[in-house]
Structure 1
Amino acid sequence: MEGGPTHFYDEIEPFCRWRRTENIDILELHLPSGLKKEHLKIHINNNGILTITGTCPVDQTESMRFKKETKVAKNCRINEIRAKFSKGVLYVTMPRTSPIATGPSVALKGVISQTLDPKADDNMTNVAKCASEFHNKFGSLKQRLCRKTVVEGVAALVVVAAALVGVVKAYQYCMASPV
């Protein structure tokens, strides 16, 4: 047979770890020794899929390669995604926008402006503050729930639903109590 030697590729699956905070996601990709910055390619497509590939020669006839794909969060600021390669670890930093606070506090504000009794206004203001605080904590919890498994998510959702029922019951109690 004529031609050059056959080239083989060893497909690897690098260790991958997510670190998440309220405003940023960091993907850590632990890559094998020998892989250099020049061997890496990072691309994000229009559907929000981040693709990281790498190919590194081992010898004349063999190379190792990998491909990692992950969906970027919907609230990720795509233009601000950054990557850093240091000591065999690729860090991909994905900043997120803050969630917009909407929900129960907005609905209650309309009710507050319609009340006529000043004492009822105070009660409604307290309820609105409570609902607003609950909503802010619920939004943070909702973000963390998106990262959990289905079973953990369902269990947490049941807890959140119970808390929401508690807030509604407290509101009803405040409204029913004599002033």
Structure 2
Amino acid sequence: MTLVTAAFLATAFATHALVGAALGAILFDRPGVGAVAGLVADVDFLFPAALGWPFVHRGITHSLPALLALAAVAVGVWYAVDACGSHRAAGAAVAVAYCSHLLIDVTTPKGIPPLSPLSDRIVGVALPTTGHSPVPTLLLWVGSLWVLSRTDALDSVARRVPSSRIGE
């Protein structure tokens, strides 16, 4: 893997995590759950290459069947667990953040295969700039960080980072 490819992937992963965190924070007060769920679709990077289609990047994990399976889990969590609602919010944050990942990826030239494994047809959306291009990525980062700054999500992260006491 080249340095350019590694930087691109790191930026893409960070973008999915930031957007998921922002959605999880603003909609459900669950930024951490949203950040992790925003990355879940890219678990396909861990599949062995020998498996082939649909177990490749932007294969089954970027499809409608995977989304429906995740939605079923989220609905199950919503109705079956924790009457006070904290798990319900987490389940909803997972579903929304996962959807945000797919929406970002559908705007790229490669697109996503919405009916995998029934079909290997990739659907891309032709836009002048796409989901992982510099301008949209910057806008997603700025928007997500703005949303996070309007919640207490960044405050809780700041409390966990040890402060340095220079000069003492």
Comparing both chains, which one has the higher relative contact order based on Cα–Cα distances under 8 Å and sequence gaps of 6 or more?
2
Question: TM-score with structure 1 length normalisation?
Answer: 0.25
Question: TM-score with structure 2 length normalisation?
Answer: 0.26
Which structure shows the higher helix fraction? 2
Structure number with greater Rg is 1
Which structure shows the higher strand fraction? 1
